[in-house]
Chains A and B, each alone.
Chain A
Amino acid sequence: METISEATDGAGGASVRGRRRARRGRSVEAIAEALRCDPELGPRFLHWHRVPARAAQSEPLPQRLDPRLRALLEARGHTALYTHQARALEHALAGRDVLVATPTASGKTLCYTAPVLQRLLETGGESRSIFLFPTKALSQDQSAGLNALIEELGEPWHSFTYDGDTPSSVRRTLRDRGHVLLTNPWMLHAGILPNHAKWSELFASLETIVIDEVHTLSGVFGSSVANVLRRLLRIAAHYGSRPQFLLSSATVRDPAAHGARLIGREVAVVGEDGSPAGERIFGVYNPPMLDTVAGLRANALEEARRLAHRVCGPDHQTIFFCNRRTGVEVLTRYLKEEARDLGLRPEEVRGYRGGYLPLLRREIESGLRSGEVKVVVTTNALELGIDIGRLDVAVLVGYPGSQASFWQRAGRVGRRGGSSLVVLIARSEPVDQYLAQHPEYLFGAARERLGLDPDNLVILSEQVKCAAFELPFRRGELEVPAPDGRPGGDPGDHPGSFAAAPCVPEVLDYLAEESGLLLARGDTWHWMADAYPAQDVSLGGNDPDNVLVLDAETKRAIGEIDREASITTVHEGAIYQVEGETWIVERFDYENRRAYVRRVDSDYFTEAETDVDLRVLRLERRATRERDDAEQAHQEDYSVWSGEVHVTTVATQYKKIRFYTRENVGAEDVHLPPEELDTQAFVLTLSEAAAAALELTGSDRGSAWRGVGRLVRRVAPLFLRCQPSDLGLSTEVRAPHFLRPAIFLYDRVQGGVGLGELLFDAHREVLQAALEVVAGCECAGGCPACVGPAHESGPRGKPTAERLLRHLAAGAAPLPGDPALLVAEPPVAGP
């Protein structure tokens, strides 16, 4: 089918061609079989799992569709719809809010573009839509696809991307001319909603709000976005529109509940995937043990490189998922260098990650779609719905951290009419090792619940502040529950998107009387301050507050990186990599968020280490329980606290690591200001006497205590409706501030959103839940599902943690106490 045209290197050409030929025509099925039977690699595959092929379930295009749209879809090969697409369209055309929760590449885009185009056709181009994407890359990708469709319809309509990259000179034209606005939550929050008058035409005719990948909207970020949507609906109502929601999501647990919490209305869920897929073969690969004493296994990246020789080839496409940027770059470099051994040309191997510039990304995406790119190495950047078609083999270098991510990544492969292969390489890390032993966790039903709490008081009050800037609040809009019909004629009479939220009048009174930001007049609160509140209100999540990476010579941007990662990636001396090319960072202008790099041929890459330091600033609440044995009367047992803490993260030093050998060839200090976080924390302290009584003693007590902390952190999100990543954990057996064992759980958002406070109130339930997890866990001596694996939590880690939790969760609840009173106790000597 394809001609070979490399032969640029004369004599070597023949053998390269030979290698290429040798690798032709191998089916994925055969590759999997070869791996299974391989005497060396075969035994390392601990588990094989097959998902049988699924035939397409399809239905004819709905009669209701506009003939022109039908013709367009048919011309693109959609003579029929998959059942989930048909259900989604049915709901959408009936005006219902829909959530389509099916895997990547199942044709979700059509579920929202078709209704939007249908409405445009029905209204003669009057209807307007907003598409929200969780990343900039996604919105650019979708804009191109949508414009292609519109062009084929031959209508003078426009869709456009509006984000931080949109030049201000064209913004005005876009505002006036656009029919479909593609943007992201940050832009909506800080740019569009506060300036809604400039978008009045859009809001007046706003019929559809599309939100893609809603499973990414969870935790603090998701809870903030839910409030941004309340603001959006409020403004739409002001201009007389009541838009419909079309949502898409990965497969998650209880999508209906998640969708409803996010948009504040019931959603019709479409979850049955009707798209066809070939058989999928899953293999869980555990690298060989190098050091049985330390439990250290061969490096997962090196193993990926080794597996590449088996799973890459000129006749199919392979995708490697790494969890870190460095991983992507190192592996890309390896595979490019070894491309000829894989029967490939180096340019058929590409790296792809978030920090690449848009043009480069576009080029790689289209290479994947056309089949020119045979191997791509990526991060989660290709986990979301960017259109690259379906590939053949996926290698996950390490567990991505959640079931949803695992399935999103696995969903990148699975062509119709052939088998595909997914290999998960377990790292030495606890969770990976646990999964290697318990693959049923991966292949069972979705277990992770997405946390979302739009009514979190801090998030809500910050967002109410932003909403009050946008339109005055009327008491009526808060008392009337949102009616289902269109809003009445009176522009002041909103249907009340904030009506369902608790305490909004009280928040408004607070903002009026204590903050002095609002003026209360009769039944109305007016904004009354010289300020632009959205600027100071963070949504959480990875704010695209980026650092640009510039070529020091040409001053051209070669990449970008988020701020949090910048201190460990583009510090001076760091090796920055783009598609396997190495650049050295000459200067990092931290203030102005610019890193200047110079192209070098480096035989090493760099990895930086960070130190986290937590300091108590102020304690606000406390509850204490006394010990209940008579002779110890009035001795403290344990206390819980809430208060402010200051968390400092500083990059300390970086190591130079040689490619291939991973030999450490030197270390240097990093000189950067620390990243500071002022936030709120929940603290649990145990008196030294109680610790001694509970045998939290000995040299390994630190790891046992940390095990307790991990358990609490693991279950807390269920009670706080946040994500595990929203909570930071720090445990100390002798915390300097308390002089006793302490567990700190803190908000990872600047300023905090009250998670510590919620945890303070719910701590008994949380402790009980943590106890149930550890007590019910079937492992012998600790595993990632409970206190962590034995080699981390210590030999007595699991029983100690269980004993501690049983003690803390049982008996009387602690009583409110004085946070100022901290009785010093002498440290109890160990037995």
Chain B
Amino acid sequence: MAAGGAPGPGSEDFRGRLRRLRRAPAAASDTAAGESAGESTPPALPAWLRARLGSRRAAAAVPAGPERSSGEPRDLAEHQGPRGAFAARVTCFGPASDHGCFRLAEVDHAERDVFRLLTGDAALDALDPRTAVYLDIETTGLSGGAGTTPFMIGLGRFDGAQFELWQGFLREPDEEPALLAECARRVAAASGVVSFFGKSFDRHRLEDKMRMHRVPPPFTDRPHLDLYHPLRRLYAGALADGRLQTMERSLCGVGRADDLPGSFAPAAWFDFLCGRPHLLEDVFRHNLDDVLSLVALYAHLGRTLAERRADGAPLEAAADLRAERAAALAQLFVKRRRFAEGLAWSRRALERIAAGGRRREAALLEAECLRRLGRAEEAFAAFAKLGAERDGHAPVALFAAAKLADSDDVALPLLDRALDLARVFDPRLVAAIDRRRRRTAARLGAG
């Protein structure tokens, strides 16, 4: 070591030295040293120091209300697995149980081909809601990396008429391999995985830790339905954000009372590990609600095309959701080149949307479907009608109409107008329109 000798525990108060070197805030006993040396006010805490000291403060402000408990969470059963002991809580729900306004058993009425339509993932055909697992985990942070620990793993599945929610819980960090091995076993026994944002988050947190502990990860080649993306695609325009709680409330009527925000989960587990009173019961409940919402949202998503539940009731009451859905489906069918369905859904969207950009988008889709279906006259009329207005859709529509026009005489004024509008709204189109316009004009001139 360099000058001054190695600061060993014996040579000096090691902790004091380290505190000084790391420039942590002085303990109460040695505050005197600092401020009086000239500065009348102590300097503001520099940013790098705040960053170094951050962790303690994050645990501080818990919302008022929730009751803390002490000791181990209730109803934990210990199991022995091949990698050691682990603990889990199992909660069972009877055949008539519901979550929000959905019965859990309504997953049976899902039209399963809709998932492939929405995600483009053919593997989802093999995912059976009765044999799938519904996965949601609680972790010590969102940043990822080897130090981010999933300390609670919620796995729901149907067991006969019942729905069984298994919540594996880490009582000690060293139980991790045993818990992960059990999680892997349960996932591997299922026909697929249903999660919310799990393809981007939960799966990777588990896989990382499994690789660390040499537990073979079970996710590869297993059908995985991540509800987040299709729900975003269908309803983004009508919802404030893409959070699970927004989705479950708007689509399934789930209301949570006194829900503990997920950001408090890490502190709850740390408190428990350190023997302090903790909020883990709220975390268990939060995780349970999350998993049940996966089931309800699956059931909802499974009825997207029918737009009615199995008993004939409308899927949801809100008109804006119905409008959004129709518009999104129209777009989706066009993307999948299923133009007949695209036409039907675009017309439904037009029925449901009174005005505005969204309506014009739907109209454009309608015209496009007509064209693709070979109904040229109707398509021309639809495009021309769109072109009568002044907005970003008009040049596209006019350009398309011109291509469908019977004669150059008809096409030329459409192209003139398209060019004018493109210069204002969509400069990228100018070159293409201009080329066609010139060719058309030349032909007319020659004729």
Chain A residues at the B interface, C-beta cutoff of 8 Å: 194-198, 200, 238, 453, 455-458, 461, 468-472, 491, 502-503, 506-507, 510, 514-517, 519, 521, 524, 526-536, 616-620, 643-644, 646, 678, 680, 719-721, 737, 750-752, 754, 757-759, 761-762, 765-766, 819-820, 822
Contact = CB atoms under 8 A, between A and B. Distances in A.
Nearest to B47: A678
A762 B5 CA distance: 9
A515 B4 contact: no
A469 B146 contact: yes
Given A196-B146, A529-B147, A720-B2, 18 more contacts: A457-B18, A461-B22, A470-B145, A471-B212, A472-B173, A510-B15, A514-B24, A519-B270, A531-B147, A532-B144, A532-B145, A532-B147, A533-B147, A644-B23, A678-B48, A757-B20, A820-B36, A820-B37
Contacts of A719: 2-3
A194 B35 CA distance: 38
3 shortest A-B CB distances, which residue pairs?
A762-B3, A761-B4, A469-B147
A122 B273 CA distance: 48
Interface string B159-189: 0000000000000111000000000000000
Contacts of A524: 173-174
Interface string B51-66: 1111110110000000
Given A453-B1, A752-B23, A197 B273 contact: no
B276 to A, nearest CB: 11
A526 B173 contact: yes
29 contacts: A195-B208, A196-B146, A197-B146, A198-B211, A238-B212, A455-B2, A455-B6, A456-B2, A457-B7, A468-B147, A471-B146, A510-B19, A515-B53, A521-B172, A527-B149, A529-B140, A531-B141, A532-B143, A533-B147, A534-B145, A618-B42, A720-B3, A752-B23, A757-B20, A761-B3, A761-B5, A819-B33, A820-B32, A820-B37
A757 B23 CA distance: 11
Nearest to A537: B52
Contacts of A517: 55
A742 to B, nearest CB: 12
A205 to B, nearest CB: 14
Nearest to B143: A532
Nearest to B1: A455
Most-contacted residue by chain B among A503, A720, A737 (CB, 10 A): A503
A748 to B, nearest CB: 14
Contacts of A536: 48, 51-52
A752 B49 CA distance: 11
B23 A503 contact: no
A514 to B, nearest CB: 6
Most-contacted residue by chain B among A721, A759, A820, A822 (CB, 10 A): A820
Nearest to A529: B55
Contact of B173 (A510, A521, A820, A822): A521
Contacts of A461: 18, 21-22
A515 B146 contact: no
B34 interface: yes
A762 B4 contact: yes
Contacts of A644: 23, 43
A602 to B, nearest CB: 32
A506 B59 CA distance: 24
Nearest to B9: A506
A457 B213 CA distance: 31
B116 interface: no
A620 B34 contact: yes
Determine the main DSSP class of A at the interface with B.
mixed
Nearest to B5: A761
B278 interface: no
Given A616-B38, A754-B21, A758-B2, A528 B8 contact: no
B322 interface: no
B207 interface: yes
B266 interface: yes
B214 interface: yes
Interface in B233-272: 266-267, 270
Contact of A197 (B9, B211, B274): B211
A529 B174 CA distance: 16
Contacts of A238: 212
B54 A531 contact: yes
A646 B9 contact: no
B209 interface: yes
A117 to B, nearest CB: 28
B174 A751 contact: no
Given A536-B51, A616-B38, A515 B24 contact: yes
B14 interface: yes
Contacts of A455: 1-2, 6
A670 B210 CA distance: 54
A502 B8 contact: yes
Contacts of B56: 515-516
B356 interface: no
B273 A620 contact: no
B273 A528 contact: yes
B23 A646 contact: no
Given A196-B146, A197-B209, A751-B49, A530 B58 contact: yes
A406 to B, nearest CB: 27
B46 interface: yes
A716 to B, nearest CB: 9
B39 interface: yes
Nearest to B269: A528
A458 B146 contact: no
Contacts of B266: 529-530
A618 B18 contact: no
B35 A618 contact: yes
A260 to B, nearest CB: 15
A478 B209 CA distance: 23
A299 to B, nearest CB: 40
Contacts of B214: 491
Interface string B131-158: 0000000001111111101000000000
A514 B174 contact: no
Nearest to B56: A516
A594 B364 CA distance: 39
Contacts of A456: 2
Contacts of B267: 530
A524 B140 CA distance: 18
Given A515-B24, A751-B49, A762-B3, A617 B145 contact: no
A502 B6 contact: yes
B3 A507 contact: no
Nearest to B212: A197
B139 to A, nearest CB: 9
Contacts of A515: 24, 52-53, 55-56
A531 B148 CA distance: 8
Nearest to B42: A618
B23 A506 contact: no
A754 B23 CA distance: 10
A727 B193 CA distance: 56
A720 B4 CA distance: 10
B14 A503 contact: yes
A503 B6 contact: yes
A637 B274 CA distance: 52
B37 A819 contact: yes
Contacts of B210: 197
B208 A197 contact: yes
Nearest to A619: B37
Given A195-B145, A517-B55, A519-B274, A820 B14 contact: no
Nearest to A190: B145
A527 B209 CA distance: 14
Contacts of A521: 172-174
B182 to A, nearest CB: 19
Contacts of B48: 536, 678, 750-751
Contacts of A618: 34-35, 37, 39, 42-43
A27 to B, nearest CB: 51
B390 to A, nearest CB: 29
Contacts of B55: 515-517, 529-531
